[in-house]
Every structure is written in structure tokens, then in C-alpha cells.
Amino acid sequence: MFKHSVMTVAIAAAFALPLSAGAAESPELAAIRAQIQEMKQSYEARLQALEQRLQDAQAAVAEAQNAAASAQQANAPAAPAAPAPAAPTTAAAGDNSFNPSISLVLGGTFSNLSQDPSTYRFGGFMPPVGEVGPGSRSFNLGESELTMAANIDPMFAGQLTFALTGENEASVEEAFVRTRELGGGTNVKAGRFLSGVGYLNAQHSHTWDFVDAPLAYQAFFGGQYKPDGVQVRWLAPFNTFLEVGAEVGSGRSFPGNDRNKNGFNATSVFAHAGDDIGDSASWRAGLSYLRTGAADRAYEFDGIPNAFSGKSSIWMADAVYKWAPNGNPTRTNFKLQGEYMRRKESGTLAAGELADAYASTQSGWYLQGVYQFMPNWRAGLRFDRLSSGTPFIGLVDSGALGMDAFPALVRYKPQRSSVMLDWSPSEFSRLRLQFARDEARPGQTDNQVYLQYIMSLGAHAGHTF
């Protein structure tokens, strides 16, 4: 279809040959010149008309392809497409046409742990409820995830994520509806969702750079904080990224527990700011605050039952810096991230029949760097630290009981160093090797080796920054 243009260019070039304009021209010459001018113009007009016809024809082909594509989408996800522009067909909507998109993440680990995982604990901390510790030895199914998501109508979209564990359990990781068109930089979510506090909390575990969550997330959230409630986020209309958000929830997720109470039992607020530094780097930093409570949050240690009731509040600071040459992460890139958490709990602590005042301030942080040194290959280093502090325990202070009645709460600073290497042959698969030296238990070192695979199938959701 381009032959005509090449040919016509040759003609145009012939017309464009310089005709030197003499100072004094004979009428004959002027007439020839006028004739050439006229031919040029009519030629130009014909050329433009042809061009227009060509464009119209191409636009028609594009439209036919659009129609074919939408018909195909409506039929079945993998139906063969018409290779040539087909005649516009009306969308024959099948039963599956409005089904949610499905994405499946399959994960598994092979673990070698030098210490018995059933004795895992964070020295100086009440044992958290949730996904804590290195998991079992040998082969583990790990956590697989099944996500279904779809637009509900122009106003709402919904998503459901099941976490499937090796213990043959399916749990609801996330199940929420969200607004689509509120505009004004506002998004609202309701249901169960990964809270916006901190940095890593909002990210699904298969996108993490290490096999397991930082110790601080395990000790303070039991893995990740996933409230049942409502979240509002607002992005400020500036050229610099500034986002604020607030959540209210039932308060049932750790460090809270079910208090059989009406109203908003857990509230959190967070703010994130960020920007680009030239083409190659960007950063994001945030501050978050979570306030919740517990009633008879029981734990047992060394056969001694204890229970905490009272308020629990957590401050978090998080920062991440990413670098990729010219903003192109394909070949090499680097990511540095760190978070600090500080939890205050105050109320009463019961031991058997006795109960008295309790107050603690505990903190933890981690810092990690991941470097992609060549396409598909990354190496990472992480350091974790927790500080239990010395809690105020009324029963000990009054002399009613000795510290031996609270062996879990003896001051300690758990720490862990991890190093990992992973290989991702494509965007959809990743294999990882990780070594960790875990000193969470007082006086014991657990040498942990993990081999992990993470594969994603089906629809592929984008990754957040």
C-alpha cells in the first residue's frame, strides 16, 4: 500500500528541480511556469485525496480489529483471534464473559533449620498471634494465593484473595470492595484488606524480597496487619506525591483481639510522601499510627497462662529508596528499605487468679538492600532487630510474684541477619535461596536455609512502588 508513495515521491522530486527564475522572462516562459504551478497544485490535491483514502481504509481496519478483539474477550479468554481483520461481529456474550479475572500464585519452600521450629519465640515479647517463625522443616507447600478481581459496576470494584496453607487451610487474606470513580484523588475500600500502615504491610507476601516477614512485623502484627473495616485514602493534588489515609476496624486483628464491642475498635492513620530524584532514583517515606486494644489476650509460656487486657498503640516510620539507571530496571537496579516500629501497651496483666497493672514500650526495626546485578539475578541483605525493653509488671513490682512467673517477658534483644539470592527467568517465576542466622530465642542461634519458588499464573496484577 506504500508503493504509490514511493513512486509519487519520484514525480515530486522531478517537479522540484530548480528552474532558475530569470529577471526578464518571455511571456512564453511565464506561461510554462504557470502551467507547472497548476499541475503541481492539482497533483498535490490528488495526492492528499489519496492519502485521505488510505487513512480511511486503515482506520476501518483498526475498527474491525477492535470489534473482533472485544468479541473475542467476551467469548473466552483464550479463543483464537482472527489473524486477518474480520468483519465486525457482535459480541456473543457467553456465560464466562463477566467472570472475574483470576490470578493464582503458587509458592513452596524447602527449609533446613538447625533449631526445633516448635520452640521458636521472640525473647522478651508476649507470643504474637499469626504467622510467626520459620515454619516447618523439609518441604512446605508455603503460601499459595488465589485472587479473583473484577469491576462490579461503574462505581465499584471488588477483590477476594484466599491464602492456601500447607496445613490444608484456606483463609481469607483480603476480601474488599473499593470505589472506582470517586475522583478528587480519593479511594475508599471496605472489607478485609492489607492496611496502608508502613511500607511492607500493604504488599502481598509473594512480592517480598525475602522468604519471610521482618521480625518487627511478626512480633507486632503477627505477620501483617489486615483489619476488617473501612479505609479512606486521599492523594493531594501536588506535583510531589503526598498521600494521607485513615482506617477504622473491628479491632480483631493482632495486637487487638475480639472484644465483643460495638463501634470502631481499631483506628489507624498514615501519611506517605515521595518524589523522584532525577530519572534514575525515587524515594518514599511515611509515618503511621495504629491504636487498638485487647481484652484477655491470652498466651501460655512454659505452661504458665497469662492474659493481657488494655490499650495497644504502634508508631511506624518507613522509607524506601529505589535506583535504576535512567529509570530502566531491566538490567540493574537497587532498592533500599527500612522500617521502625514502636509499640506501647498498657493495661492489666493476669497470671492465674492474680492481675495487676502492666505497661511496656517495645521497638523493632529492619534494614534491607536488594541489588539486581544482572538481568534476572538479584542479591539481598537484611538485618532485623527487636528490643523488648523492661516492662512494668504490677504483680512483680508489688512483690506478689517474682519475674519467674513471667519468663516470656525477661528483657531481650532478638536479632537476625539474612542474605538471599534469587533468579527470575521471567516476570512470572522466581527461585530463591536464603540463609539466615536467627537469634530470636535467648541464647540460641538458629541457622536457617530456605529454597523457595514463587510462580504466578493467570491475570497479573501490577506491583506497587
Partner 1 sequence: MRTLTKSVSNKLLAAGALALSLALPAQAAINVLTCEPEWAALTTELAGDKASVSSATNALQDPHRVEARPGLIARTRNADLLVCTGLDLEAGWLPLLVQQSGNAKIAKGQPGYFEAGSFVPRLDVPAKLDRAEGDVHAFGNPHVHLNPHNIALISAQLAKRLAAIDPANAAYYAARQADFAGRWSQAMRKWETQAAPLRGLTLVEHHRNMEYLMSWLGMRQVGTLEPKPGVEPSAAQLGQLLAQLQQQPAKLVLRAAYQDERASNWLSQRAHIPAVVVPFTVGADKESGDLFALFDTTVQRLTQAVK
Binders in 427-446 for partner 1, by CB under 8 A: 427-428
139/423 with CB nearer partner 1: 423
29/60 with CB nearer partner 1: 60
Say whether residue 61 binds partner 1 (CB under 8 A).
yes
Q: How far is the CB of 110 from partner 1 (least distance, A)?
A: 25
Q: Are 332 and 325 in contact (CB under 8 A)?
A: yes
Q: How far is the CB of 311 from partner 1 (least distance, A)?
A: 32
Helix (H) or strand (E) holding 322: strand 304-323
212/318 with CB nearer partner 1: 318
Q: State the binding string over 10-49 for partner 1 (x if CB under 8 A, else -).
A: x-xx---------------------------------xx-
Grid coordinates standing for 350?
493476669
User: Which residue of 322, 342, 343, 385 would you call a contact of partner 1, by CB under 8 A?
Assistant: 322
105/307 with CB nearer partner 1: 105
Say whether residue 382 binds partner 1 (CB under 8 A).
no
26/326 with CB nearer partner 1: 326
Binding residues among 110-169 for partner 1 as defined by CB under 8 A: none
3-state secondary structure (DSSP) of residue 3: helix
User: Which residue of 139, 373, 423, 465 would you call a contact of partner 1, by CB under 8 A?
Assistant: 465
The alpha helices in 222-377, defined as continuous H runs, are none
Q: Which position has the grid cell 490535491?
A: 45
The residue type found at 155 is M
Number of residues binding to partner 1, judged by CB under 8 A = 74
By CB under 8 A, which span of 131-139, 235-243, 384-392, 437-445 interacts with partner 1?
235-243
Q: Which letter does DSSP use for residue 260 in this model?
A: -
Say whether residue 208 binds partner 1 (CB under 8 A).
no
Binding residues among 268-287 for partner 1 as defined by CB under 8 A: 272-276, 279, 282-284
Q: Which letter does DSSP use for residue 128 in this model?
A: P
Q: Are 360 and 344 in contact (CB under 8 A)?
A: yes
Say whether residue 378 binds partner 1 (CB under 8 A).
no
Say whether residue 238 binds partner 1 (CB under 8 A).
yes
90/326 with CB nearer partner 1: 326
User: Which residue of 43, 234, 383, 453 would you call a contact of partner 1, by CB under 8 A?
Assistant: 234
Say what angle helices 3-15 and 27-75 make with each other, to 10 degrees.
Answer: 160
Say whether residue 417 binds partner 1 (CB under 8 A).
no
Residues 6+ apart with CB under 8 A from 236: 185, 242, 243, 244
3-state secondary structure (DSSP) of residue 253: coil
By CB under 8 A, which span of 80-88, 111-119, 123-131, 361-369 interacts with partner 1?
80-88
User: Which residue of 85, 100, 347, 369 would you call a contact of partner 1, by CB under 8 A?
Assistant: 85
Q: Which letter does DSSP use for residue 396 in this model?
A: H
Binding residues among 387-416 for partner 1 as defined by CB under 8 A: none
Say whether residue 291 binds partner 1 (CB under 8 A).
no
Which residue in 320, 402, 302 sits closest to 368, CA to CA? 320
Say whether residue 313 binds partner 1 (CB under 8 A).
no
Grid coordinates standing for 127?
507470643
259/322 with CB nearer partner 1: 322
Q: Which letter does DSSP use for residue 130 in this model?
A: S
Measured CA to CA, the distance from residue 15 to residue 10 in angstroms comes to: 9
Say whether residue 453 binds partner 1 (CB under 8 A).
no
By CB under 8 A, which span of 133-141, 228-236, 353-361, 444-452 interacts with partner 1?
228-236
Measured CA to CA, the distance from residue 205 to residue 171 in angstroms comes to: 14
Say whether residue 184 binds partner 1 (CB under 8 A).
yes
Say whether residue 317 binds partner 1 (CB under 8 A).
no
Cα dihedral 415, 420, 426, 430 in deg (nearest 10): -60
Q: Give the C-alpha distances (Å, rounded to integers) separating 237 from 116, 186, 284, 438.
A: 53, 11, 17, 44
Q: How far is the CB of 13 from partner 1 (least distance, A)?
A: 7
Q: How far is the CB of 189 from partner 1 (least distance, A)?
A: 11
Measured CA to CA, the distance from residue 356 to residue 70 in angstroms comes to: 67
Burial 85-105 (b: 16+ CB within 10 A, else e): eeeeeeeeeeeeeeebeebbb
The residue type found at 136 is S
Binding residues among 327-356 for partner 1 as defined by CB under 8 A: 327-331
Measured CA to CA, the distance from residue 413 to residue 401 in angstroms comes to: 24
User: Which residue of 19, 34, 38, 51 would you call a contact of partner 1, by CB under 8 A?
Assistant: 51
User: Which residue of 168, 239, 260, 262 would you call a contact of partner 1, by CB under 8 A?
Assistant: 239
Helix (H) or strand (E) holding 59: helix 27-75
Say whether residue 91 binds partner 1 (CB under 8 A).
no
